[in-house]
Amino acid sequence: VEAELLEKIRKGDRLALSRILTAVEAKTMQGEGYLDALFSSTGKAHKIGITGPPGSGKSTLVNALVKAFRELDSKPKVAVLAVDPTSPFSGGAILGDRVRMLDTQSDPGVFIRSMASRGALGGLAERTEALSQIFDAAGYDLIFIETVGAGQSEVDIVNLAHTTIVVDVPGLGDDIQSIKAGILEIADILVINKADHPGADQTLRNLKTMIAMGKPSRELIASKHALQEIGNRPKETHADPLIWTPPVHKTIASQQEGIHNVVKTILKHKDYLVKSGTFQIKDHEILRRSLERQLSQSLYRAWQKNASQKEIEAVIAKLIRREISPKEALNRLMAL
Ligand SMILES: Nc1nc2c(ncn2[C@@H]2O[C@H](COP(=O)(O)OP(=O)(O)O)[C@@H](O)[C@H]2O)c(=O)[nH]1
Ligand SMILES: [Mg+2]
């Protein structure tokens, strides 16, 4: 049955894929079974996270990127996972979104899926990872994951994607540079969308300056890990093949302008990831974190089974009366 299923989704059976995604997202027993069965076929897809403020044009940009990737000679299969709760991507109620997605929706090599953000069982991050595994097993080469609120959101895109694209727009002002500094930490590629709006060049200069000023880049840290893991790999001829400096691009996504440069940079970043060993390291980290998340959930559930609510409440009551310290409360709860 599993081989049959895999064959079906590999052949592009969209209905089968859709059903599997729904079961996996709802975390049904069947869904968990699918994940299990398909896991050995995962690990190939390039996962690209897109983040940035609502309305900055993330969905429009993804749409434009998907189109551009499909026009490449390699014709990669592309999946889109929209986890942004503020803007339904496709199949949503917003007409504008539906119209914008039309041109890629008729393409059999493209699959777009919106995720319900509320009430996701086991957490949004876990479900996002699970759904992207299904796309991966189904043979999608690229998986775009659109989300908001980098760093603060439940879906920490950096922990899910190989490449993180941060979308910015002109004219947000210098007063939020501190926020931007935080965002720069996570960006592999920066896109200033809505470059048709005034101030795009100023924003471009600002971002470039901030990047040049330097930061303890996580790429550098990753590179160190890569060097350790790879050991005595042959020396590259390029100056610094293991260092990635985030490029900044201007786009007008709604007019498909500047998109090819972003595509080129994404391909370049993939190349960098593979050559530096970071692609594999990220994959390992994603799997490790996901397992750790599930382990702590399982342990908590197992503990909860053994502890009665009455006993727990009794400990909390003592704590709030200041009869025991939080540390003592924890000790007592653990002893249950
Ligand atoms: N002027 C201009 N508008 C854009 C551009 N890209 C997207 N938009 C518009 O900005 C609005 C928000 O876009 P959307 O992709 O939904 O933003 P998201 O919330 O970040 O996903 C839509 O009305 C788009 O048509 C652009 O480059 N220039
Ligand atoms: Mg959106």
pLDDT digits (tens, 9 = 90+) for 80-109: 998 855 444 443 333 334 444 555 567 889
Which amino acid, one-letter code, is at 278?
Answer: T
Residue to mutate, 60, 67, 117, 259, ligand 1, most ligand atoms under 8 Å from C-beta: 60
Which residue, judged by its Cα, is nearest atom 7 of ligand 1?
57
pLDDT confidence band for 222 (50 / 70 / 90): low
pLDDT at 224 (0 to 100): 52
Q: In terms of Cα–Cα distance, which of 270, 271, 269, 265 is closest to 250?
A: 265
CA count, 13 A, side-chain hemisphere, 90: 19
Q: What is the structure's pLDDT at 83?
A: 80
Residue 176's pLDDT is: 55
User: Is the distance from the beta carbon of residue 256 to the nearest atom of ligand 1 less than 6 Å?
Assistant: no
Residue type, 36: D
Judge if the beta carbon of residue 53 lies within 6 A of ligand 1.
Answer: no
pLDDT tens per residue across span 66-77: 999 999 999 999
Ligand 2 centroid to Cα of residue 150, in Å, is 14
Residue keyed to tokens 């309305």: 55
Ligand nearest to the CA of 252: 1
| 247: nearest Cα among 222, 219, 214, 269 | 269
Of the candidates 104, 100, 106, 93, the one whose C-alpha atom is nearest the C-alpha of residue 59 is: 100
Please work out whether the CB of residue 182 comes within 6 Å of at least one atom of ligand 1.
no
Q: Which pair of tokens denotes residue 314?
A: 């009794």
Report the nearest-CA residue for atom 14 of ligand 1: 57
CA of residue 82 to ligand 1 center, whole Å: 15
Residue 120 Cα to ligand 1 midpoint, Å, equals: 27
The residues with which 48 forms a beta bridge, in sequence order, are 144, 163
pLDDT at 233: 46
Most ligand 1 atoms within 8 A of CB, residue of 254, 255, 256, 262 to mutate: 254
CA distance 289 to 287: 6
Q: Which residue has the higher pLDDT, 192 or 98?
A: 192
Tally of CB atoms within 10 A around 63: 28
CB 152 within 8 A of CB 313: no
Cβ–ligand 1 distance for 278 under 6 Å, the answer no
Is residue 60 scored above 70 in pLDDT?
A: yes
Taking residues 204-233, report their average pLDDT: 62
Question: What CA–CA distance (Å, rounded) separates 181 from 186?
Answer: 9
In degrees and rounded to multiples of 5, residue 268 shows phi and psi of -65, -40
Mean pLDDT, the chain, rounded, equals: 82
Q: Is 254 in the pocket of ligand 1 (CB under 6 A)?
A: yes
Structure confidence at residue 157 (pLDDT): 74
More confident residue, 292 or 230: 292
What pLDDT shows up at residue 290? 82
Residue nearest atom 2 of ligand 1, based on CA coordinates: 194
Q: What is the pLDDT of residues 229-250, one digit of tens each?
A: 555 444 444 445 678 889 999 9
Decide whether any atom of ligand 1 lies within 6 Å of the 193 Cβ: yes
Cα angle 177-128-77, degrees, rounded to a multiple of 5: 95
Take atom 10 of ligand 1 and give the residue whose Cα is closest: 57
58 lines ligand 1 (CB under 6 A): yes
**Cα 193 to middle of ligand 1, angstroms:** 8
- What is the model's pLDDT at position 159? 77
pLDDT at 184: 73
Ligand nearest to the backbone CA of 52: 1
Mean pLDDT for the stretch of residues 273-280: 92
Q: Which amino acid is at 237?
A: T
* Per-range mean pLDDT, top range of 27-31, 172-176, 219-223: 27-31
Measure Cα distances from 266 to 76, 142, 186, 191 in Å. Answer: 13, 11, 15, 12
